[in-house]
């Protein structure tokens, strides 16, 4: 099925909007349910394609699941250790977080290589090398990812600050008697949410504050957990308010999750304030945007997933802005779509670009290259003159719950079109 958004730009966004639960937190949490024989319940789970894909994989493995409203229940009592086929994992890069739980529980895991967005080369070696340090043997082939062996608690030094590799080792270590130490661990908000989940299930996870985690593992018990709100969705709505010169009140934003992003927004003269009830009020009409430099980094640095949406805001800022993307070589492709709309951009190399503004964007037909580039195109369309048609919307709907509905309630003129 082909899905498009048709957006008529030029309308300031106004009103209140509630942030959804974080997909990046929900996926490893759902995988973590495999560690607990019994029923686990997760609140505030976004209704997204990736979530449904993960639940279908868990059901394939023998779990009983329900998804009502934003509540997921998973009974993982009768899980079977079966090879997960290509058609189930090819659409979900996040399925990689099943490695740790299945290996720890059964001593063997086999799946096709996970897929997902195209963001340059994203090998699985960070995961396999980490789990091998706990005793796994890598018997993978060119077609199948396979690890086996009885894991033992120990010391793991990650080869990079990988979020999903950190989560994989954490989930595996939580089931292993003894102490596991993870060096070079990631510290993104969704990693912290997995830490909280494991602590509440019976493990003891200690964050030293120096990118080192210490896990005391053992038997885990099922229970309830509420998924954190999506700070990446919050960043997108903040930027949408700024470029449309609108005024939005955002509910469910956690300042600590967006500390570097909010600092960059402030340096760009974006006007926002915090309400007494913890809401974030963004006033685009009062924002005299100016050029800034951003450099993506691991948390608490500027989030790579907000680089593309921020790049759109730069087209509306006075002066020269600079982007330095240090994590993914494929993250700059959206700039070519912005150029179609009239943006003045100089791409220096695969990781750096200059954006000269402000420029009036004009409606065009543009593509969603990945989840975050897709929402960037939506933000660009909202402030462009005329009509913009955005293709490959299936990417966007993998990461943003009810985006069309939320934007419509805020005054956006957006239509979702489906075609077989």
Peptide linkage before 358 cis (omega within 30 of 0): yes
Question: Distance (Å, rounded) from C-alpha 242 to C-alpha 235?
Answer: 11
| Catalytic status, residue 117 | yes
Question: Distance (Å, rounded) from C-alpha 104 to C-alpha 199?
Answer: 17
Q: Which of 36, 117, 290, 383 is catalytic?
A: 117
Could you tell me the two tokens for 237? 């709505």
Output the 3-class SS for the chain: CEEEEEEECCCCCEEEEECCECHHHHHHHHHHHHHCCCEEEEECCCCCHHHHHHHHHHHHCCCEEEEECCEEEEECCCCCCCCECHHHHCCCHHHHHHHHHHHHHHCEEEEECCCCCCCCCCCCHHHHHHHHCCCCEECCCCCEEEEECCCCCCEEECCCCCHHHHHHHHHHHCCCCEEEEEECCCCCHHHHHHHHHHHHHCCEEEECCCCEEEEEECCCCCCEEECCECHHHHHHHHHHHHHCCCEEEEECCCHHHHHHHHHHHHHCCCCEEECCCCCEEEECCCCCCECCEEEECCCCCECHHHHHHHHHHHCCCEEEEEEECCCCCCCCCHHHHHHHCCCEEEECCCCEEEEEECCCCECCEEECCCHHHHHHHHHHHHHCECEEEEECHHHHCCCCCCHHHHHHHCCCEEEEEEEC
Task: Show which residues are catalytic.
Answer: 117
């Amino acid at each position: 099925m082909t899905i498009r958004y048709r957006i008529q730009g030029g309308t300031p966004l106004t009103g209140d909007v509630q942030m959804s639960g974080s997909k990046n937190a929900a996926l490893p949490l759902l995988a973590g349910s495999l560690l607990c024989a019994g029923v686990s319940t997760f609140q505030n789970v976004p209704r997204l394609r990736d979530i449904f894909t993960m639940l279908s994989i868990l059901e394939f493995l023998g779990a009983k699941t329900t998804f009502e409203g934003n509540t997921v229940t998973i009974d993982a009592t009768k899980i079977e250790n079966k090879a997960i086929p290509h058609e189930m994992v090819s659409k979900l890069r996040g399925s990689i977080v099943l490695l740790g739980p299945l290996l720890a529980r059964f001593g063997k895991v086999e799946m096709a290589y996970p897929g997902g967005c195209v963001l340059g080369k994203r090998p699985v070696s960070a995961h396999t090398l980490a789990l091998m340090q706990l005793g796994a043997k890598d018997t993978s082939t060119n077609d199948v990812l396979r690890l086996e062996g009885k894991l033992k608690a120990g010391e793991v030094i990650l080869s990079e600050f990988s979020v999903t590799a950190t989560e994989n080792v954490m989930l595996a270590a939580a089931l292993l008697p003894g102490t596991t130490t993870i060096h070079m661990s990631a510290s993104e908000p969704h990693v912290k949410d997995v830490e909280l989940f494991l602590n509440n299930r019976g493990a003891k996870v200690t964050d030293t504050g120096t990118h080192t985690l210490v896990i005391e593992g053992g038997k885990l018990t099922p229970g309830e957990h509420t998924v954190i709100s999506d700070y990446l969705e919050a960043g997108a709505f903040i930027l949408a308010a700024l470029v449309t010169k609108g005024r939005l009140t955002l509910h469910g934003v956690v300042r600590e999750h967006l500390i570097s992003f909010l600092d960059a927004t402030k340096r760009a003269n974006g006007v926002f304030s915090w309400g007494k009830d913890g809401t974030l009020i963004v006033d685009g009409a009062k924002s005299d945007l100016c050029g800034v430099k951003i450099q993506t980094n691991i948390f608490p640095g500027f989030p790579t997933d907000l680089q593309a949406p921020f790049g759109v805001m730069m087209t509306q800022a006075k002066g020269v802005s600079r982007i330095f993307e240090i994590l993914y070589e494929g993250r700059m492709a959206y700039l070519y779509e912005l150029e179609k709309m009239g943006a003045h951009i100089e791409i220096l190399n695969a990781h750096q670009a200059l954006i000269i503004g402000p420029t009036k964007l004009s409606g065009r037909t543009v593509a969603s290259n990945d989840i975050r580039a897709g929402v960037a195109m939506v933000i660009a369309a909202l402030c462009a003159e005329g009509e913009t048609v955005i293709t490959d919307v299936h990417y966007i709907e993998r990461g943003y719950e009810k985006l069309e509905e939320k934007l419509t309630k805020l005054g956006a003129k957006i239509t979702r079109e489906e075609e077989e």
